[in-house]
Amino acid sequence: MLRLARKRWRIRAFRKRRELRGIVDRTNLIAPDHILLFSTLRNERIRLPYFLRYYRNLGVNHFVIVDNDSDDGSREYLQAQPDVSLWTTKHSYKRARFGVDWLNYLQNKYAHGHWALIVDPDEFFVYPFCDTRPLRALTDWLDASSIKSFSAMLLDMYPKGPFDAAPYAEDQDPFEVASYFDSGNYIIHRNKKFGNLWIQGGPRLRMFFQDLPERAPALNKIPLVKWDRDYAYVSSTHMLLPRGLNQVYDEWGGEKASGCLLHAKFLDTFAHKAEEEMERRQHYANSHEYRAYRAGISTQPDLWCKWSEKYINWRQLEILGLMSKGNWA
Amino acid sequence: MSVGIVMLCHTAFDRAAQVARHWAVRGCPVVIHVDRRVKRKAYDGLVKALNDLDNIRFSGRHACEWGTWGIVAATQEASTIMLRDFPQVRHVYLASGSCLPLRPVEEMVAYLTDRPRTDFIESVTTEDVGWTIGGLDVERFTLRFPFSWRKKRRLFDGYVRLQRRLGFRRRIPAGIVPHLGSQWWCLTRQTLSAILENPERDEIDRYFRRVWIPDESYFQTLVRQVSANVESRSLTLSKFDFQGKPHIFYDDHLQLLRRSDCFVARKIWPHAGRLYKTFLSGDPGGQAAAEPNPGKIDRLFAKAVERRTKGRPGLYMQSRHPNENWENGRTAAPYSVFEGFADLFDNFEIWLGKATGTRVHGHLFAADRIEFAGGEKIYNGAVCDSAAIRDYNPTSFLTNLIWNTRGERQCFQFGPDDSQVLTNFIAGDPNAQISVISGAWAIPLFHSNSNFGEIRKEAARLQKIEAEYLNELRKPWVKARVRTWTLAEFVENPMEPLQTIVDEISPRAMRRLTEAPRLADLTGFGQFLQNLRNQGMQPVLMGDFPTGDDPRPSTSRRGRPYLVK
């Protein structure tokens, strides 16, 4: 059954390729051992310089990006970058299953046999020893351990005070502004069908979904995969097929290695974004999430509480139990 | 006298070349073996990079698939060349292309010169090793392994099972006592040549060809026949994780490696530029006579393996989600659950907090909201007091609370009016200390101002729930520390059970309780119970309260602190 589902997603992705228009194709620069980053975005111009810098520093070799009809100069900026291959589309983000179809197609075409990191422009990958070891150290270790997928839970970061109190400047580290997170407020269910964990929680759960926790957004993500053209993401980067790739957690008491995706969503840019997304109605579950935010934001926009933890580094996240070194030492 | 290095390489040739050059220019001849499966171009590159050095040789190439004979064949051939071409060599050191010398070469040479007849090779009998992977130890020597472990795992495992079932055994040749040990050794010329020039070598080789992972047993076994002075340890610092693959060293291990005083470490990540730069720079070392001391590194890696196999008890997260009964601790720390105490005593929570120095919550599982200590809306870890979120996944709620408050014991009130879904989980948790005064829920009813018909109905409902709860606590699988009293028993003598509970919560304090919590007013309670009976409801859980005769403590002790000597 799941095999058929996987085929269907792949065929769907293949058909969705027609919606993509190439802007600049530098994929000939991709060497066999390169680490690739895939992303889809819309109007994220102000975030792009730091985003690219962050991942270049980690050791990403090439960026493959789908621009969903930006009109703020994102496309032009990306086009000029020497390590970016860029596609654009005016088609519906929602009907491409929130961009998954587009990226599945490009991953199947370019990422086969590569380590691929699939992140949004507001997600920043943190993994054990990321301050001393480049991304390649991690992927080499994963290769040596015969591990094909790596989990990194989404960690919502937020500022102290209203979102617009400290504006975000271009090329700034967003976590200088949004430096707080919830340390122990995460709920885990197991998804029997796909074998993945379903994690909800953080400030979004406690602020916007107090009465409807089952509608709170999923935080489990598997963004780093040794890609094979037989693979497909099912919903965002929350789960994959074949389902063995979702087995990023140990069931017998041990801890597998894992990281976090620091989520720089709650900056001063957020209110504007929520407004825009509500009009476009292009987000998950009829934009229920954005509707809840908008309702929340108009009354009390402060996610901070006295138990909020200020971000220091990956070791802190490890000690708090949000991520794990596993047996990597 | 000098030390010769036999180097087995299959990848990262620029690093291998760098290390080989380091040895060679410091007077240690090097014989390099390159895996036959490596492409011609890469091999030629390595040869070219080292062709200016006259004390480097390349040996004939064998395919070195892990676990097979090829690695031993390669070692034999390269060692033979070493002994033949470099007569001044006294010790031969077997290293890999990803090994890195940590101490100046002169120190190692001096160390070995001081021990001219010692063979450094880990060599342990099969009965004594605890580290073999997959349960194969002595069977490595007695079964056949025609299928590749890497590529045809299922056939490999299936064939092993079949042989076990059929009772198949290979005969171990006479005179061979199987020993196992690290692949990386350092042998004297005498010992090594005795092994290589053994007149029965053909026969021995034929046997070992079919032994599983012979590189960990060939020399380790034969050395026992020929050497009088085996020091059973490897000079190479090499640690294996729980899957049997070597741990890798990175730049951030620099200080650890430096302080280990080991001569050679493996394996080094090829891109660990700082390690290569530091250790190959040839600056003078520390104490020339220091013995290798890898203790710190051992601990680091042992911890990593434990993290991977056992994990942190009570932690549930993205990469640790144990199946039931595999949690290695359902929760992170001990906690206490009190049922009925807050009904029987006024301000019990405040009293308990003072007496034990712990965090005392109200009813965490109350139907409408979570009653965190001090009426907090948001608690440790940013958990909010929404009952809907708690009921969405009660297990997550409790395990999160206990994890988030590690280091501070949590106590909370519980009762038949609370959500009961977690009863099984808590009862099966060795960290839980459950104390129940059964029937105490009747006290608030007794004090309430409701119509008696409603009270009767409510009493029946609460009694039913508590009876079920008590029933669960008596199940054989219960692991929690459970204590139950009926209300009548408890009121008779409240201090002793309280003292027991408090001692268990803070055993080191060993304080005598000086101040008792204040009992609720029970005047007329017996009559109240009788009224329930008269209305057709049978209150049983509170024990035997005589009608009309009010319990002594409630009258005699009310209003003043109770002192126990």
For the segment B231-236, the average pLDDT, to the nearest whole number, is 89
Task: Look at residue B544 and tell me whether its pLDDT is greater than 50.
Answer: yes
Half-sphere exposure of A243 (CA within 13 A, CB side): 13
Question: Which pLDDT belongs to residue B389?
Answer: 94
Residue A327 within a domain: no
Task: Write down the pLDDT at residue A282.
Answer: 63
Residue type, A241: L
| Percent of chain A scoring above 70 in pLDDT | 93
Asked which of B92-96, B192-196, B259-263 is least confident by mean pLDDT, the reply is: B259-263
Residue pair B384/A187 in contact (Cβ under 8 Å)? The answer is: no
Q: Tell which wins on pLDDT, B440 or B284.
A: B440
Residue A215: pLDDT over 70: yes
Closest residue on chain B to A319 (Cα)? B312
Q: pTM to 2 decimals?
A: 0.90
CB A226 within 8 A of CB A142: yes
**CB A326 to CB B322 under 8 A?**
no
- A214 contacts in chain B (CB < 8 Å): 392
A234 CB-near residues (< 8 Å, 6+ apart): A5, A9, A100, A194, A240, A241
Would the pLDDT of B553 be above 60? no
Residue B326: its chain A contacts at CB < 8 A?
Answer: 251-253
Q: Could you read off the pLDDT of B169-184 as tens digits, one per residue?
A: 888 888 888 888 888 9
How far apart (Å, rounded) are the C-alpha atoms in residues B318 and B324?
16
- Please tell me the predicted confidence (pLDDT) of residue B135: 60
Q: Kindly report, residue by residue over B276-310, the tens digit of the pLDDT.
A: 999 998 666 555 567 888 888 889 999 999 999 99
Of A133, A137, A258, nearest to B318 by CB-CB distance is A258
Q: What is the pLDDT confidence band of residue B272, given thresholds at 50, 70 and 90?
A: very high
Highest mean pLDDT of the ranges A310-314, B146-150, B295-299, B343-347: A310-314
B contacts of A151 (beta carbons < 8 Å): 318-319
User: Quick check: A301 contacting B, CB < 8 Å?
Assistant: no
The structural domain count of chain A equals 1
A14-18, A62-66, A275-279: which range is least confident on average?
A275-279
Q: Is pLDDT above 50 for B385?
A: yes
Per-residue DSSP letter, B132: -
Question: Domain limits at A18?
Answer: 2-319
Mean pLDDT score of chain B, rounded to an integer?
A: 88
The sign of the dihedral angle between the CA atoms of B90, B93, B97, B102 is: negative
User: Which residue, among A307, A313, A315, would best test binding to B if mutated, counting the most B CBs under 10 Å from its CB?
Assistant: A307
Tokens representing A214?
Answer: 């089952």
In a domain, residue A10? The reply is yes
Task: Decide if B241 and A256 are in contact by the 8 Å CB cutoff.
Answer: no
- Is B305 touching A (CB cutoff 8 A)? yes
Region A265-282: mean pLDDT is 76
Residues in chain B within 8 Å Cβ distance of A254:
307-311, 320
The reported pLDDT for the residue numbered B400 is 95
B194: enclosing H helix or E strand: helix B189-196
Q: Is the pLDDT of residue A21 over 60?
A: yes
Pair A62, A34: CB distance under 8 Å? yes
Q: pLDDT category, B549, cuts 50, 70, 90?
A: low
pLDDT at residue B552, as a whole number: 53
Q: Is A33 on the interface with B (CB under 8 A)?
A: no
Residue numbers in A near B397 (CB within 8 A):
187
| B320 interface with A at CB cutoff 8 Å | yes
Q: Is the pLDDT of residue A286 over 60?
A: no
Is A45 inside any structural domain? yes
- Kindly report, residue by residue over B59-113, the tens digit of the pLDDT: 999 998 888 899 999 999 999 999 999 999 999 999 999 999 999 998 999 999 9
Smallest CA–CA distance, residue B419 to chain A, in Å, is 17
Q: Which residue of A has its CA nearest to B368?
A: A211
- Whether residue A263 is contained in a domain is answered as yes
Judge whether residue B558 has pLDDT over 50. Answer: no
State residue A285's pLDDT score.
54
| ipTM attached to this prediction | 0.93
Would you state the pLDDT for residue A167?
Answer: 87
Amino acid A97: pLDDT? 78
Say whether pLDDT at B1 is over 70: no
Asked if A254 reaches chain B (Cβ–Cβ under 8 Å), the answer is yes
pLDDT of residue A92: 82
What is the tens place of the pLDDT at every residue in A76-108?
999 999 999 999 998 887 877 788 889 999 999
Residue A329 lies in a domain: no
